[in-house]
């Protein structure tokens, strides 16, 4: 359709007809304030902070959802508009705690920002609290319904993006609040703990459980040998948490910061990702060749996805790879192989993971994840928590010199790095599977499987393994995963191997990533990981010397008895 | 066809059912049989006869004698004296406040008073369960004419020409609305009859459906034909048991007669109707909340645009109309736009059905031409205010309507005139309040209602309804300051300007009219004084309100 012309604040604006007033205004530098609107989640049109005057309309209209039309005249700066916006903010503040200084979202709260921007100095209504107890029922998330402002962004994220839909508005009128059904705790509903709601929430109504205290305690304990692993996605997102542009690659500074914080060894989950490829690649070949287990094989790296399949598709659990996630493979190896090599009592080893993920906090506590004889991973920190630790001790992150990971579990390949982007696990696996099946090496160009990259919700590809064709699919975001699973359930799925990541964009878009994560920043971070891959001297997991040494010295070969004991597990149906 | 020398009409509107008309009817049947009169006297349970506080009502024809508050014990006397001997029972006869009786006997204009019956032309006169009686009163003639001799455009033109406006409260021109949906290309369109009558004190839609269900069906067929919708839904309050029972029976009958279903009147046009029961939220009377509710979701209004006319139920073009609006359609098609325009005013043609309640002698269901004055309604049809008390306020249109004071008694009751006063004609509730009530108490009760019924979706309404109620509760406890009331006005203004739906937007209508028309009385409360002697500091029950009792009971026993 051809463009239309409208007038906003006296300015003639050319806009495409599917735009909203908000979008059209932004093209000419008019930033209309918003609260319930979120660029990836649509416009619930409920907060009424973005209201504007439209000529010919009696009432004010929300710019976030109102479509532009030819000849429309809009005013965003009139006394009536300002009064309505100020009143909406004042009403929200009066029904919200005033503990900003001790709130986890202090200085990262959109309501606080609006109150500051509007210069709200007086709240003329009595402050009312909902008096709903904080929900600390899960290891991943903490909900404080008292801070909910009914913007419904978490509902949109949970229902529309993730297809999980555990959050909804309960009660009516002034008592309305977003909660799991019947006001239950998160652990008694089918929440998969992905934490996308924490990214959606404009306030502190739902946040990650803060485990920094436990990690500081371990670091302060002279008897503990504290090792840390960093997930692939962290190197592409921590910079953002600390004020750098989206997609900044900060691998070396990340290592340096972790050393400054006081970790005894700084290792890399990328190492464990390479290990995962060795196991999962062989599992795939095993299934294809022996026909001893159902196909397609589904990846198992993403703990939110595992929670989802346990609750929503328990009948398809046999499709799920028995491989543990890289985080858990790392923990199991750290407290056995590494403990043995370094001659440290595994009881004294405290394994910390830096993850883009809130579900990882739950995963590390699973009963399945104690194959070293101890809890394999002791604490999980999200990108946001690491950011706080770095800020707390006053590290000037941007000026840190770059440092290298420790050996052996800090040695990795480019294949491990791309695990953090949707399609990355698939690509890494294909690189290795190709070599194993054909016995030949891929060329530099052939290493990159562009069909499996990008942010399309569901991607499909066919890969020629010198005669044998492998058909694969990749889904990210559980809403897309659901579509793939429905196809598999029909028995008609054409694929042999399917990668599923719980969060949109994969781990770069995880629920533990910096506040303000949106699709465009996910894309930047994904690109950054592919850049990391390109810069690596080794780009295939089966060429990782540290992984090869691990097999030679400890595990024997992929899918060996010891591998099964330490690196594989079985998931079980959970009631939904 | 059998002929009877006498007809006994027993009012079967819900207030009479509640008052025990079913037992009376049973007793009449028994007694008539005992006297051997069953082949001479026919007993008919009709829809509402009008004076709802006087039930059970029994009317005996051919004399047209109206008996009120008939008990089972009175029956033998009525049958023995009146039906056997032709001597009406004077002691039971209702004479005193006759103008309100919805006399179906069109030959007796003295009974008819200023009432004019279009929507209620059959209500109280025919057996609502009998499709034959409806057909005998020209029922389904309009649908037949539309489907066999008019194009859809001609139907819409006729409705446009009639000037019919939505009777649910918004007063949007019905023909224009139909035109929008008719123009949209779609594989499926819907007609929804909004029978989720939620305004306190309004029960006209209920009585229309109870008294003349086929008329609503016929109206929906015509509307469906005009826009190309093949499916209709009646969204009705779940507690309207009798209406649901009668409309479902009527739908089944219409199907049996081929008046619903496939290829109606051999025109090739098919249409069917299904009844959907609401669960009782006030806001579900708002058309988009109603649609959400029908789709199985939380009953919350949608942000418009898109409007239901282009994107409604299940995303399909949908025309949502109020029961009364739909009931106007068959007579308009049958008699033409010019005929319709002879009633009412040029900009508000036709009649309006009201439920007249509160401090008024004759309470009940009335239909009067648009443009008659409030004075004519109260002192004419309504028979004045009981106990010789003084008129203080009339609330039009239910909670979301405005308040009219003594100065407005001679304003014509039509859309434009009421809007000029800051009020609205609204849904058809007409609550008369005498000078024993306090306006602050009334405002407080209204705000309590809004607080309770706010869906909680948008900030201004969710937060604002509570805050306004708080301020007026404080005023009622004689503890408010001028600053509080200034804030209330500011807040209500913002709610009116920026709430998502009509619920939040309408709070200001009653509030501002009360604050404007009764400024002195409110002012007195700031000085610690309630002129009506209703409000006092620290009441035992902060939510107790004399007004609410009046409103909740509709003044009907």
Best interface-test mutation with A: which of B465, B486, B494 has the largest number of A CBs within 10 A? B494
* Domain harbouring B172, CATH code: 3.40.50.11540
- Does B476 lie in the same domain as B335? no
Here the tokens at position A423 are 């399609």
Is the Cβ pair A175, B456 closer than 8 Å?
yes
Task: From first to last of the 557 residues of chain B, give the pLDDT tens digit.
Answer: 678 999 999 999 999 999 999 999 999 999 999 999 999 999 999 999 888 888 899 999 998 888 999 999 999 999 999 999 999 999 998 865 544 444 444 333 333 467 889 999 999 999 999 999 999 999 999 999 999 999 999 999 999 999 999 999 889 999 999 999 999 999 999 999 999 998 888 999 999 999 999 999 999 999 999 999 999 999 999 999 999 999 999 999 999 999 999 999 999 999 999 999 998 899 999 999 999 999 999 999 999 999 999 999 999 999 999 999 999 999 999 999 999 999 999 999 999 999 999 999 888 899 999 999 999 999 888 888 998 899 999 998 888 888 999 999 999 999 999 989 888 888 889 999 999 999 999 999 999 999 999 999 999 999 999 999 999 999 999 999 999 999 999 999 999 999 999 999 999 999 999 999 999 999 999 999 999 999 999 877 767 676 766 665 544 43
Q: Are A161 and A284 in a shared domain?
A: no
Can you spell out the DSSP letters for A381-438? EEHHHHHHHHHHTT--GGGPPP-PPPTTTT---HHHHGGGSTTHHHHHHHHHHHHHHH
- Coil, helix or strand at residue B29: helix
Domain check: are A359 and A471 in the same one? yes
In this structure, the answer to whether residues B402 and B521 fall within a common structural domain is no
Pick the last residue of a domain from A77, A103, A119. Answer: A77
pLDDT at A236 over 50: yes
Hey, how many other C-beta atoms are within 10 angstroms of the C-beta on B399? 28
Band the pLDDT of A290: cuts 50, 70, 90: confident
Rg of chain A over all Cα atoms, to the nearest angstrom: 25
What is the total count of domains within chain B? Answer: 4
CA-angle at A260, arms to A255 and A265, nearest 5°:
55
Residues 6+ apart with CB under 8 A from A158: A164, A165, A166, A167, A196, A197
Q: What part of B 269-288 touches A (C-beta under 8 Å)?
A: 281
Is A574 part of a structural domain of the chain?
A: no
Q: Give pLDDT tens digits for A104-149.
A: 999 999 999 999 999 999 999 999 999 999 999 999 999 999 999 9
User: Which among B285, B308, B341 is the end of a domain?
Assistant: B341
The reply to whether B404 and B512 lie within a common domain is no
pLDDT for res B358: 93
pLDDT digits (tens, 9 = 90+) for A539-549: 999 999 999 99
Judge whether A548 lies within some domain: yes
- Dihedral over alpha carbons A482, A488, A490, A494 (to 10 degrees): 130
Residue B518, in any domain of the structure: yes
Task: Answer whether residue B117 is part of any domain.
Answer: no
How many residues does this entry show for chain B?
Answer: 557
Number of independent structural domains in chain A: 3
Looking at the structure, tell me whether residues A249 and A194 fall in a common domain.
Answer: no
Going by pLDDT thresholds of 50, 70 and 90, the confidence category of residue A260 is very high
Same domain, A183 and A145: yes
State whether residue B460 sits within 8 Å of chain A by CB: yes
- In this predicted structure, the answer to whether residue A366 has a pLDDT above a threshold of 60 is yes
- A233 and A198 in a single domain? The answer is no
Please tell me which of the candidates B452, B454, B498 has its beta carbon nearest to residue A84. B498
Q: Which residues contact B95 (CB under 8 A, 6 or more apart)?
A: none
Contacts of B545 (CB under 8 A, 6+ apart): B441, B442, B444, B445, B448
Residues A178 and A198 in one domain: yes
Residue A56 contacts B, CB cutoff 8 Å: no
Q: Are A34 and A64 in contact (CB under 8 A)?
A: yes
Backbone angles phi and psi of A73, in degrees to 5: -115, 120
Q: Are residues B168 and B316 in the same domain?
A: yes
Listed residues A77, A102, A130: the one ending a domain: A77
Neighbours of A99 (CB within 10 A): 12
CB A272 within 8 A of CB A333: yes
- Whether residues A129 and A247 fall in one domain: no
Q: What is the CATH number of the domain that holds A533?
A: 3.40.50.1780
B397 and B448 together in one domain: no
Does A88 fall in a domain? no
Which residues neighbour A369 within 8 Å (Cβ) at sequence distance 6 or greater?
A324, A328, A331, A332, A363, A375, A376, A377, A569
Domain boundary among the residues B316, B341, B366 is at B341
Question: How many helices and strands (H and E) does chain A possess?
Answer: 20, 17
CATH number of the domain enclosing B481: 1.20.1440.230
- Residue ending a domain, among B74, B96, B118, is B96
- CB-based contact A153:A196 (threshold 8 Å): no
Does A48 share its domain with A152?
no
Same domain, B156 and B216: yes
What is the DSSP secondary structure assignment for residue A553, as one 8-state letter? I
Count of beta carbons in the 10 Å neighbourhood of residue B4: 16
Same domain, A50 and A185: no
Q: How many CB atoms lie within 10 A of CB B40?
A: 14
CATH classification of the domain holding B381? 3.10.20.600
- pLDDT the model gives residue A211: 98
Whether the Cβ atoms of residue B359 and residue B549 lie closer than 8 Å to each other? no
User: Do B325 and B207 sit in the same domain of this protein?
Assistant: yes
B323 contacts B209 by C-beta, under 8 angstroms: yes
Residue B545 token pair: 């309100």
CB contact under 8 A, A46 and B500: yes
Q: Is the pLDDT of residue A423 over 80?
A: yes
Tell me, yes or no, whether A529 lies in a domain.
yes
Q: What is the ipTM of this complex?
A: 0.93
The residue behind tokens 């309501």 is: A111
Q: What pLDDT does residue A54 have?
A: 98
Residue A575 lies in a domain: no
Q: Are residues A182 and A224 in the same domain?
A: no
Tell me, yes or no, whether B69 and B175 share the same domain: no
> Both A22 and A113 in a single domain?
no
Helix (H) or strand (E) holding B241: helix B241-256
Is A150 an interface residue toward B (CB < 8 Å)? yes
Q: How far apart are CA B281 and CA A299, in angstroms?
A: 46
- Helix or strand (DSSP H, E) at B319: strand B318-322
Angstroms from B450 CA to nearest CA on chain A: 9
Average pLDDT of chain A to the nearest whole number: 96
| A223, HSE (Cβ side, Cα atoms, 13 Å) | 4
**Domain of residue B378, residue span:** 352-434
Instruction: Give the C-alpha separation, B452 to A260, whole Å.
Output: 57
- The beta-carbon neighbor of B456 closest among A48, A83, A176 is A176
Say if CB B170 and CB B199 are below 8 A apart. no
Q: Residue B63's pLDDT is what?
A: 87
- Dihedral angle computed from the Cα positions of residues B105, B110, B111 and B115, in that order, rounded to the nearest 10 degrees: 90
| Joined tokens for residue A40 | 């990836």
**What pLDDT was estimated at residue B109?**
33
Catalytic machinery residues of A: 280, 283, 301, 321, 360, 363, 368, 507
Q: Which residues of A touch B491 (CB under 8 A)?
A: 87
> Are B73 and B140 within one domain?
no
* Mutation site, B450, B456, B500, interface A, largest A CB count within 10 A: B456
Closest CA to B200 of B280, B97, B268, B265: B280
Suggest the residue from B172, B495, B497 to mutate for an interface test with chain A (most A CBs closer than 10 A): B497
Q: Would B119 be classed as within a structural domain?
A: no
Which CATH number goes with the domain that contains A63?
3.10.20.740
Kindly report the three-state secondary structure assignment for every residue of B280-300: CCHHHHCHHHHHHHHCCCCCC
Task: Note whether A339 and A428 are same-domain residues.
Answer: yes
Residue A573 placed within a domain: no
Sequence-distant (6+) residues with CB within 8 A of A127 are A94, A95, A98
CB contact under 8 A, A45 and B500: yes
Answer yes or no: do B237 and B330 share one domain. Answer: yes
What pTM was estimated for this model as a whole?
0.94
Contact residues on chain B for A126, CB-CB shorter than 8 A: 470
State which residues form the domain around A526.
213-567
In tens, the pLDDT along A185-217 reads 999 999 999 999 999 999 999 999 999 999 999
Task: Examine the fold and report which residue of A185, A208, A231 is the final residue of a domain before the chain moves on.
Answer: A208
Considering the domain architecture, whether residues B281 and B142 belong to the same structural domain is answered as yes
Average pLDDT over every residue of A538-560: 97
In this structure, the answer to whether residues B142 and B280 fall within a common structural domain is yes
Task: Supply the angle between the helices A383-392 and A251-261 in degrees, to the nearest 10.
Answer: 60
From A437, A436, A465, select the one nearest A449 (Cα to Cα): A465
B165 within 8 A of B348, measured Cβ to Cβ:
yes
Token pair of B543 as six digits:
């939510």
Does residue B303 contact residue B295 with C-beta atoms inside 8 Å? Answer: no
Whether the CB of A547 is below 8 Å from some CB of chain B: the reply is: no
- pLDDT mean over A78-95: 98
Q: CATH number, domain at A160?
A: 3.30.70.20
What's the pLDDT score for residue B549?
A: 64
Kindly determine whether residue B456 and residue A59, on different chains, have CB atoms separated by under 8 Å. Answer: no
CA B36/CA B33 separation, integer angstroms = 5
Which of B305, B454, B459 lies closest to A92 in CB terms?
B459
Hey, is the C-beta of B494 within 8 angstroms of any chain A C-beta? Answer: yes
């Amino acid at each position: 359709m051809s463009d239309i012309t409208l007038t906003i604040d006296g300015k003639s604006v050319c806009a495409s007809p599917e735009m909203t007033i908000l979008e059209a205004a932004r093209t000419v530098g008019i930033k209309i304030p918003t609260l319930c609107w979120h660029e990836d989640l649509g416009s619930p049109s409920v907060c009424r902070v973005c209201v504007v005057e439209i000529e010919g309309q009696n009432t004010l209209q929300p710019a976030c959802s109102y479509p532009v039309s030819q000849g429309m005249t809009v005013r965003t700066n009139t006394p009536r508009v300002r009064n309505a916006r100020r009143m909406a903010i004042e009403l929200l503040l009066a029904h919200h705690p005033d503990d900003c200084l001790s709130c986890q979202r202090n200085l990262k709260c959109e309501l606080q920002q609006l109150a500051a921007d509007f210069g709200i100095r007086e709240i003329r209504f009595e402050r009312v609290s909902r008096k709903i107890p904080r929900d600390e029922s899960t290891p991943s998330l903490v909900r404080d319904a008292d801070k909910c402002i009914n913007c419904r962004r978490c509902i949109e994220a949970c229902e529309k993006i993730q297809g999980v839909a555990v959050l909804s508005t309960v009660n009516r009128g002034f008592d309305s609040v977003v909660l799991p059904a019947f006001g239950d705790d998160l652990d008694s509903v089918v929440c998969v703990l992905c934490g996308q709601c924490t990214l959606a929430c404009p306030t502190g109504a739902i946040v990650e459980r803060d485990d920094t205290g436990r990690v500081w305690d371990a670091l302060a304990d002279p008897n503990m040998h504290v090792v840390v692993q960093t997930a692939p996605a962290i190197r592409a997102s921590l910079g953002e948490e600390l004020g750098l542009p989206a997609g900044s690659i900060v691998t070396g500074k990340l290592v340096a910061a972790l050393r400054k914080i006081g970790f005894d060894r700084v290792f890399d989950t990328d190492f464990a990702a390479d290990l995962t490829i060795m196991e999962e690649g062989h599992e795939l070949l095993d299934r294809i060749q022996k026909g001893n287990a159902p196909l397609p094989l589904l990846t198992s790296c993403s703990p939110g996805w595992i929670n989802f399949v346990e609750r929503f598709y328990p009948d398809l659990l046999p499709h799920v790879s028995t491989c543990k996630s890289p985080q858990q493979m790392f923990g199991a190896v750290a407290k056995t192989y590494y403990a043995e090599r370094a001659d440290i009592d595994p009881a004294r080893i405290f394994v910390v993971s830096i993850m883009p993920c809130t579900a990882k906090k739950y995963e590390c506590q699973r009963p399945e994840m104690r194959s070293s004889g101890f809890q394999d991973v002791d604490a999980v920190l999200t990108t946001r928590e690491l950011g706080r630790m770095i800020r707390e001790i006053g590290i000037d992150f941007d000026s840190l010199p770059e440092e290298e990971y420790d050996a052996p579990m800090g040695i990795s390949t480019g294949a491990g790095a791309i695990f953090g982007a949707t399609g990355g696990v698939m690509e890494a696996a294909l690189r290795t599977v190709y070599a194993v099946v054909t016995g030949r090496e891929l060329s530099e160009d052939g290493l990159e499987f562009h069909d499996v990259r990008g942010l399309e919700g569901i991607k499909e590809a066919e890969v020629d393994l010198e005669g044998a064709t492998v058909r694969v699919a990749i889904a990210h975001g559980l809403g897309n995963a659901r579509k793939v699973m429905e196809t598999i359930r029909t028995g008609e799925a054409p694929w042999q191997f399917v990668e599923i990541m719980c969060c949109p964009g994969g781990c770069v878009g995880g629920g533990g990533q910096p506040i303000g994560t949106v699709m465009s920043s996910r894309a930047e971070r994904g690109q950054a990981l592919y850049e990391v891959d390109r810069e690596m001297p080794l780009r295939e997991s089966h060429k990782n010397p540290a992984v090869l040494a691990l097999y030679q010295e400890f595990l024997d070969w992929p899918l060996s008895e010891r591998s099964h004991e330490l690196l594989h597990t079985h998931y079980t149906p959970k009631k939904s | 066809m059998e002929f009877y020398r006498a007809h006994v009409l027993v009012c079967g509107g819900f207030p009479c059912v509640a008052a025990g008309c079913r037992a009376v009817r049973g007793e009449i049947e028994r007694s008539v049989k005992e006297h051997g009169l069953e082949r001479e006297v026919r007993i008919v349970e009709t829809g509402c006869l009008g004076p709802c506080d006087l039930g059970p009502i029994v009317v005996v024809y051919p004399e047209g004698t109206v008996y009120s508050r008939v008990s089972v014990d009175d029956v033998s006397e009525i049958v023995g004296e009146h039906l056997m001997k032709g001597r009406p029972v004077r002691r039971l006869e209702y004479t005193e406040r006759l103008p309100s009786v919805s006399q179906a006997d069109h030959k007796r204009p003295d009974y008819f008073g200023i009432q004019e019956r279009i929507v209620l032309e059959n209500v109280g006169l025919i057996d609502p369960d009998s499709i034959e009686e409806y057909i005998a009163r020209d029922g389904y003639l309009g649908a037949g004419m539309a489907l066999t001799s008019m194009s859809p455009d001609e139907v819409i033109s006729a409705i446009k020409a009639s000037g019919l406006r939505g009777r649910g409260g918004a007063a949007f021109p019905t023909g224009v609305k139909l035109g929008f949906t008719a123009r949209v290309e779609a594989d499926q369109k819907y007609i929804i009859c909004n029978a989720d009558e939620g305004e306190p004190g309004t029960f006209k839609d209920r009585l229309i459906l109870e008294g003349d269900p086929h008329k609503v069906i016929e109206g929906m067929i015509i509307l469906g034909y005009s826009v190309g919708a093949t499916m209709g839904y009646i969204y009705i309050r779940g507690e309207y048991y009798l209406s649901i029972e009668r409309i479902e029976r009527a739908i089944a009958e219409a199907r049996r007669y081929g008046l619903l279903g496939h290829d109606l009147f051999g025109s090739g046009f098919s249409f069917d109707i299904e009844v959907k029961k609401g669960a009782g939220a006030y806001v579900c009377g708002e058309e988009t909340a109603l649609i959400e509710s029908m789709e199985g979701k939380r009953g919350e209004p949608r942000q418009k645009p898109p409007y239901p006319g282009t994107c409604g139920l299940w995303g399909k073009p949908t025309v949502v109309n109020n029961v009364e609006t739909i009931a106007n359609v068959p007579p308009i098609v049958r008699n033409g736009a010019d005929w319709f325009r002879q009633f009412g005013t040029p900009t508000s043609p036709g009649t309006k059905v009201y439920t007249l309640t509160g401090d008024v002698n004759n309470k009940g269901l009335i239909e009067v031409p648009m443009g008659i004055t409030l004075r004519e309604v109260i002192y004419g049809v309504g028979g004045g205010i009981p106990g010789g008390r003084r008129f203080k306020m009339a609330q039009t249109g239910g909670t979301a309507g405005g308040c009219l004071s003594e100065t407005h008694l001679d304003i014509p009751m039509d859309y434009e005139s009421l809007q000029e006063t800051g009020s609205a004609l609204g849904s058809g509730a007409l609550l008369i309040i005498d000078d024993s009530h306090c306006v602050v108490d009334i405002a407080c009760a209204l705000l309590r209602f809004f607080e309770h019924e706010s869906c909680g979706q948008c900030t201004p309404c969710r937060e604002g309804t509570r805050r306004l109620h708080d301020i007026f509760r404080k005023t009622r406890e004689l503890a408010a300051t001028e600053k509080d009331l200034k804030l209330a006005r500011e807040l209500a203004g913002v709610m009116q300007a920026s709430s998502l739906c009509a619920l939040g937007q309408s709070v200001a209508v009653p509030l501002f009219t009360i604050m404007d028309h009764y400024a002195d009385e409110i002012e007195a409360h700031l000085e610690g004084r309630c002129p009506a002697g209703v409000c006092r500091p620290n009441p035992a029950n902060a939510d107790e309100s004399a007004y609410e009792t009046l409103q909740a009971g509709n003044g009907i026993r």
